[in-house]
Amino acid sequence: MLQVTLTNAQQTLEINASLHEKLLAVPQKILADAGVLHAQLEIAVVDDDEIQRVHRDFLGKDSTTDVISFPYLNNPEEKRIEGELFLSADTALRSAPEFNLTPKQELLLYAIHGTLHLVGYDDQTDLQRTEMRAKEQEYLQPVLGENF
């Protein structure tokens, strides 16, 4: 069972029903495609103040960021993952124009990026970044034409 839940704790960006569905469905697809059989993933859409607090309190960096992934359990033998994502709606609103995306598409990209981290992708080296960007596009491109 792949359980993904979403909490909206910000007022910068409207999370309508369509975006809500995408923020649940796309990470579920990533988990399924990675062979995960059991997952509990909590996604929190937050503002800059909250993501900065989380970034500072848990990662020692007193700055805002786009997405933070917390893997709580990764058991490859049982194909089980538990984790949490924090997505910054404020950052999505600011950054979207730079990448020719809407803020909602940018926010979905953060959910994709964070979920890819949880299933084992990284972006520390040039090769890893190239692989991760390709995977991000694999999951983002199919929904870009949709209105959400």
- Domains of the chain (ranges plus CATH)? 2-144 (3.40.390.30)
**Which stretch of DSSP H or E encloses residue 41?**
strand 38-46
pLDDT tens figures, 27-86: 999 999 999 999 999 999 999 999 999 999 999 999 999 999 999 999 988 999 999 999
pTM of the model: 0.96
- Phi then psi for 32, rounded to 5 degrees? -65, -45
How far apart are the C-alpha atoms of 71 and 9, rounded to whole Å?
20
- Phi then psi for 55, rounded to 5 degrees? -60, -45
In this prediction, residue 148 carries a pLDDT of: 81
Amino acid present at 72: Y
In this prediction, residue 139 carries a pLDDT of: 98
Burial zone of 95 (CB within 10 Å; 0-12 exposed, 13-18 middle, 19+ buried): middle
pLDDT tens figures, 116-144: 999 999 999 999 999 999 999 999 999 99
